[in-house]
Amino acid sequence: MDRNSIIGFILIFLLMIGWMYYTMPSQEEIERQRQERAEREAVPEEPEEPIVRRGIESRPELRDPGHEPTSLGIFAHPSYEDTVSIWVETPKYRTRFTNLGGGPASFHLKEHNHWQGGLVQLISDTTRSAYSLEFLSTENFNIETDQLLFRPVSHPDAIRLDEGETASLQYELVLEDESSIFFTYEFLGGSYQIMLNVAFEGAGVHVSGRSFELAWKPAIPPTERDIASEAQYTAAYSYAGGILERFQPSNAGYHESIITGNVTWVGSKSKFFTQIMKARETTDGAILSAVLWDDPDNGITYHDFNTALRTRISPTAAFNYQLYLGPLQYRYLREFDPAAYNMVDTGFRFIKWFSDPFVKFVILPFFGFVGGVTGNMGITIILFAVLIKIVLYPLTKKSFESMAAMKELAPEIEAIKEKYKGDQQKQNMATANLFKKAKVNPLGSCLPNLLQIPVLITFWRFFQNAIEVRQESFLWARDLSAPDILVELPFTIPLMGSHIAGFVLLMTASMFVQMKVSGQGSATSNPTLKMMQYVLPVMLLVIFNRLSSGLSLYYLIYNALSIVQQMMINKKMDHMKLMESVDKKKAKEMRRKQMLEEKKAKQEERKARKQK
């Protein structure tokens, strides 16, 4: 194996290891976390879906001091005496609205399932609204409307919408002086967007500083089997002035980021799902908060994020918001805001210029169209690997031709090393002269591979976050966004995990075969380079074992196609012509010897026929 290829593979390996170490969620000492741990808020469960309720509300010791008001002044008397729930159902979701806070108290996505079964929940079932207006009253009380009972303006038991239909739901909070706050929700069948209008009917005079916040308070519950991996992609975001900022602290405890100025939208997300609040009017800032805490029972760090948009009350006293609760799917997020899909991690920052447009304008359209035709994402991945191999054929052809030539020249290179043993300068000069005569570029097998790195890294990142392959099955893999576990191990291997994945084993085997076919490692007497043909596949096995099976399937097919391509190039390689360019006299002697061997073989064949 040539030195440049070795260096390239090692750099890629170190890059992967560095990323995994950098993004791995940190954990504090277990003893300290036991002392901080408090009992979580008990919530009723629906037998249909697993319920998870975590967040600032379930960690009262991490909230700001004095956050819970002891009195509410003019806001103390409820507008309504009873708690009333109204179900809203569309083709995309099923949600339960409550008048305690005047908003959604549960939210189930009908097209997406939790890994344990049941529908994905973006709001764990609770008794109060996930959205809340928060402000300081002129009487100096902290007001949070999710603690107040609103009056339902209409009283339907349920609202059911078909594709394209619309409906609205309104709540009113009436104060002692008959002033009020109205929440009006508008739903559209077939969309994950909800429109919210907040109107102050005289109640604005009771808001100190004429400023309030619309806050999202619960955490998005985990939905994937590997909670630790999912936590790496959980974060909060703000979008202002055309710039998307990520808020993702790594230390346990309560964290807060305050942003001033006009903020277009804020949101929080898990690995595959998100909630976003977008203001239609100019805002005054935003607040992103997070609670990170370790669970000593399973050694996992949980990441809970809350977001809020701050707005100053205008003379009209009416404010409009776009709310998005749904999957991190490009076609839906693009309708909401073109920049919203940028929350999905498609590649390292230094190749964002390539990975973002490549994902949006090549990968996603292909998966959308071909996936719709084939009806199977595994087949779609295979076809995509074939397409990429065809597109990259000119680059890989040069690389494979160079490797084939280096394999043929290996005996000559070893002869030069033996002839000028102990004189490195003469070795280098003679080797360079050999390459020049043979018209072989020693970097020819390295540079094309380096040019492919942005493509390979984009796929590596995309398959970890692509909801398009989530819970899509192929052969024995039940979920192409997760490892296809064949064997559960009774112990944990660092980086590799406590299981062995199927497609990773096949991918590793294909890598080993590819290196054998290309002659990497066997074309040199250097034992270190020979050993690398065994070490590199094992390194990839360790790295890929915990990653998505769709990614391993892609590289398996890509490697298989590379093996076929290398074998074809090896077969077409004209050894005599190559050697003639290096040493005509030696090539002539080799050709004469070959002719003699062919003549001898024919004579033996004729002799055998006569004997018969």
Strand partners, 292: 253, 303
Residue 47 predicted with pLDDT over 70: no
Q: At what angle do helices 549-572 and 502-518 cross, to 10 degrees?
A: 20
Residue 92 predicted with pLDDT over 90: yes
Q: Tell me, yes or no, whether 452 and 331 share the same domain.
A: no
Residue 38 predicted with pLDDT over 70: no
Does 25 map to a domain?
no
Higher pLDDT, residue 323 or 589: 323
pLDDT-wise least confident of 29-38, 377-386, 443-452:
29-38
Mean pLDDT of 250-259: 88
Residue 127 predicted with pLDDT over 50: yes
Q: Please write the tens of the pLDDT for every residue from 519-575.
A: 654 445 456 556 666 777 788 888 888 888 898 899 899 889 888 877 877 676 555
Does 336 map to a domain?
yes
- Number of neighbours of residue 318 by Cβ within 10 angstroms: 15
Higher pLDDT, residue 518 or 513: 513
Higher pLDDT, residue 588 or 472: 472
Q: Tell me, yes or no, whether 393 and 490 share the same domain.
A: yes
pLDDT band with cut points at 50, 70 and 90 for residue 52: very low
Q: Tell me, yes or no, whether 192 and 301 share the same domain.
A: yes
Higher pLDDT, residue 356 or 53: 356
pLDDT at 301: 73
pLDDT at 500: 86
Does 353 map to a domain?
no
Please tell me the pTM assigned to this model: 0.75
pLDDT at 63: 38
Q: Tell me, yes or no, whether 270 and 415 share the same domain.
A: no
pLDDT at 10: 56
Q: Please write the tens of the pLDDT for every residue from 274-319.
A: 999 999 989 999 999 998 887 776 667 778 899 999 998 876 778 9
Q: Tell me, yes or no, whether 266 and 385 share the same domain.
A: no
Residue 576 predicted with pLDDT over 80: no
pLDDT at 33: 37
pLDDT band with cut points at 50, 70 and 90 for residue 125: confident
347: CB partners within 8 A, 6+ apart: 354, 355, 356, 454, 457, 458, 461, 462
pLDDT band with cut points at 50, 70 and 90 for residue 16: low
Structural domain including 335 reads 37-344
Q: What is the CA radius of gyration of the chain?
A: 32
pLDDT at 289: 93
* 319 touches 311 (CB < 8 A): yes
Does 26 map to a domain?
no
Higher pLDDT, residue 430 or 82: 82
Q: Tell me, yes or no, whether 309 and 333 share the same domain.
A: yes
Q: Tell me, yes or no, whether 550 and 581 share the same domain.
A: no
pLDDT at 485: 87
Q: Please write the tens of the pLDDT for every residue from 404-416.
A: 666 666 666 666 6
User: Per the structure, how many domains does the chain have?
Assistant: 3
**Beta-strand relationship, 318-327 and 485-493:** unpaired
Residue 60 predicted with pLDDT over 50: no
pLDDT band with cut points at 50, 70 and 90 for residue 40: very low
Residues in the chain: 612
Higher pLDDT, residue 96 or 418: 96
CA distance linking residue 1 with residue 568, whole number of Å: 19
Does 352 map to a domain?
no
pLDDT at 181: 92
Residue 333 predicted with pLDDT over 90: yes
Q: Tell me, yes or no, whether 489 and 580 share the same domain.
A: no
Final residue of a structural domain among 311, 344, 377 = 344
Q: Tell me, yes or no, whether 583 and 508 share the same domain.
A: no
pLDDT at 404: 62
Does 358 map to a domain?
no
CA distance linking residue 303 with residue 316, whole number of Å: 38
Higher pLDDT, residue 175 or 65: 175
Tell me what the pLDDT averaged over the chain comes to.
Answer: 78
CA distance linking residue 336 with residue 54, whole number of Å: 27
Residue 55 predicted with pLDDT over 80: no
pLDDT at 600: 72
Strand partners, 143: 135
Q: Count Cβ atoms within 10 A of the Cβ of residue 128 and give its class: 0-12 exposed, 13-18 middle, 19 or more buried.
A: buried
pLDDT at 515: 78
* Closest to 216 in 3D by CA, of 274, 280, 260, 170: 274
Amino acid at 529: L
CA distance linking residue 40 with residue 142, whole number of Å: 24
86: CB partners within 8 A, 6+ apart: 96, 97, 98, 152, 155, 156, 157, 158, 159, 169
Q: How many helices (H) and strands (E) does the chain have?
A: 15, 22
Residue 282 sits in a domain whose CATH number is 2.70.98.90
Q: Tell me, yes or no, whether 159 and 284 share the same domain.
A: yes
Does 270 map to a domain?
yes
Q: Looking only at Cα atoms, what is the longest distance across the chain?
A: 122
pLDDT-wise least confident of 63-67, 84-88, 185-189, 333-337:
63-67
Residue 31 predicted with pLDDT over 60: no
Strands in 137-229 per DSSP E? 142-144, 151-152, 158-160, 166-174, 180-188, 193-201, 211-216
pLDDT at 67: 38
Does 28 map to a domain?
no
Q: Tell me, yes or no, whether 582 and 564 share the same domain.
A: no
Amino acid at 235: A
Q: Tell me, yes or no, whether 516 and 598 share the same domain.
A: no
pLDDT band with cut points at 50, 70 and 90 for residue 440: low
pLDDT band with cut points at 50, 70 and 90 for residue 26: very low
Q: Please write the tens of the pLDDT for every residue from 487-507.
A: 888 887 877 778 888 898 998
Q: At what angle do helices 549-572 and 447-465 cross, to 10 degrees?
A: 160
* 247 touches 55 (CB < 8 A): no
pLDDT-wise least confident of 95-109, 180-194, 302-316:
302-316
Which letter does DSSP use for residue 578 in this model? H
